[in-house]
Chains A and B, each alone.
Chain A
Amino acid sequence: MRIKFHLTSQVILPVFGAACVVLAWALVSSTVAPDLPSPVRTWQESRRYVLEPFFKDGEMNQGIGRLAFYSLVRVGKGFALALAIGTPIGFLLGLSPRFHQAFDPIVQFMRPISPLAWLPLGLVIFQKSEPAGIFTIALCAMWPTVINTAVGVRSINQEYLNVGRVLKLSRRRMLTRIIVPATLPYVFTGYRLSLGLAWLVIVAAEMLTGTPGVGGFLWQEYNSLVYSHIILSVLTIGAIGFLLDRLMGLVEARVRVG
């Protein structure tokens, strides 16, 4: 499929918007916040990390590509765990009124708890920072999947269910032929939101545990007073988050059509 290309709406205006923000950044750094590195200084101090993204001088001094890779692997594990737990819980919440009565209140209760609150608990449980981080990511990221799946199951078109009822389909076939396919678009919307959350949580998890990754690097450079690298990390986090969302958006669109 060919997507129509619009120079003004797709290039000129977005670049203009970004330029405005960079200008504001330059203005702030040269007036009220002299400690904030200017855009030019940020680039000068960060160029090696960007231009040689995979160099490694030490545990905490690595190219931004390497750091991002560590973070992505961590997020991938946490996200996978979130889906593995969240999807079945979502289906159970949607399918069984009893399960819903028992567990919906606790889901609503746990949903707003911040990653910063879970992480210390993860450290207490697992004694190690790596599993604690993944635990935190999974626990914070799974709620959109849980809730969207449950809503998806409950909003299945009654017509489809009636077809299954008339055919007296077995519970299993009802699930595989009707309920799961009908819910899939909702499930994938949940996955996209969960991935966004997982990526939000990674920074907090790495900052608190000091593990190598974009978030850990950010916190270390703050402590070492290399402020330009904070900005480098922030920009990297934003760029990757944006790309992940777009990627999941493509997957979601495929499911919706099929």
Chain B
Amino acid sequence: MAFLEVRGLRKAYVSARGRTPVLGGVDLILDEGEFVAIVGYSGSGKTTLVSLLGGLIEPDAGEILLDGAPVGGPGPERGIVFQQYSLLPWLTVRDNVALAVDAVNPGLTAAERRRITDEFIALVNLTPAAWKRPRELSGGMRQRVAVARGLAMRPKLLLMDEPFSALDALTRATLQDELLRIWGERRSTVILITNDVDEAILLADRIYPMTPGPDAVLGPPIEVGLPRPRQRRHMSLEPAYQKARRALVEFLRASHGTAREIR
């Protein structure tokens, strides 16, 4: 039995102007400790998929089994790193992370929780900024806090919704490298949603391409044959890299052409 099993997930948004079918039957299988990326065009329903997996919204049909049990509403065992960071602006970096640490470790003493909070802040290299508020931080630092908060939930499954898409290219590369390092140390199970093909190949073991909506589905997964630990430098010259990239881009291009309607 797979660690995460998603079968026939469907979702449509209904408004006064009519019904917008977003996801048309998403299937997805994940083993424990795997890093999977889902790559698709903007507006294809990636955030909807994250919200469904996170339990923030209800599917119209289909099921999500985590460790064999169906998931209901949201919970910290499926931690989310949101696209817009979603830090609480009235809390310091420390308190934003502590909110998660305190929520998932009610049994520990205050001192132990404080130590864990400090650990996660150090993990993303933010110790000097621990007492700052989000508005005093750059975009990259804010996203670091969001990653620390997501990890601090000690989730069975970490969902990352285009975490680096709002950052400039250099900052994005730095954060990707950091994520690579952190994942190498912790080996959590991660689903990364992105529209960046190279980001997906650099980070993931397996990549699902997503067809453009409406009624988006996931294409056949593409294995990334690159050995770990991975290095960004020279990676683009590796045949395994080029093979994965070609397969991914070809699928996305083809699916884009056959889409019934392009938004």
Contacts and interface: CB of A to CB of B under 8 A. Distances in A.
Contacts of B103: 167-169, 173
A165 B74 CA distance: 6
Contact of A166 (B74, B84, B90, B91): B74
B99 A177 contact: yes
A166 B153 contact: yes
A17 interface: no
A99 interface: no
Contacts of B84: 159
A166 B103 CA distance: 10
A160 B88 contact: yes
A224 interface: no
A182 B87 CA distance: 12
A152 to B, nearest CB: 14
A178 interface: yes
Nearest to A180: B90
B99 A167 contact: yes
B74 A162 contact: yes
A19 to B, nearest CB: 43
A177 B91 contact: yes
B88 A167 contact: no
A50 interface: no
**Residues of B contacting A: mostly:** loop
A167 B76 contact: yes
Nearest to A177: B99
B80 interface: yes
Contacts of A167: 76, 99-100, 103-104, 153
B24 interface: no
Interface string A141-173: 000000000000000000110110111110001
Interface residues of B, number: 20
A181 interface: yes
A58 interface: no
B79 interface: yes
Interface in B46-96: 54, 56, 73-76, 78-80, 82, 84, 86, 88, 90-91
Interface centre among A159, A178, A181 (most CB of B within 10 A): A159
Nearest to B146: A163
Interface in A47-86: none
Given A159-B82, A177-B99, A166 B88 contact: no
Contacts of B80: 162, 166
Interface in B102-137: 103-104
Given A159-B84, A160-B86, A181-B90, A166 B56 contact: yes
Contacts of A166: 54, 56, 74-76, 78-80, 153
User: 4 nearest interchain CB pairs?
Assistant: A167-B103, A159-B86, A181-B90, A165-B74
16 contacts: A159-B86, A162-B86, A163-B82, A166-B54, A166-B56, A166-B74, A166-B75, A166-B79, A167-B100, A167-B153, A168-B103, A173-B103, A177-B91, A177-B99, A182-B90, A258-B90
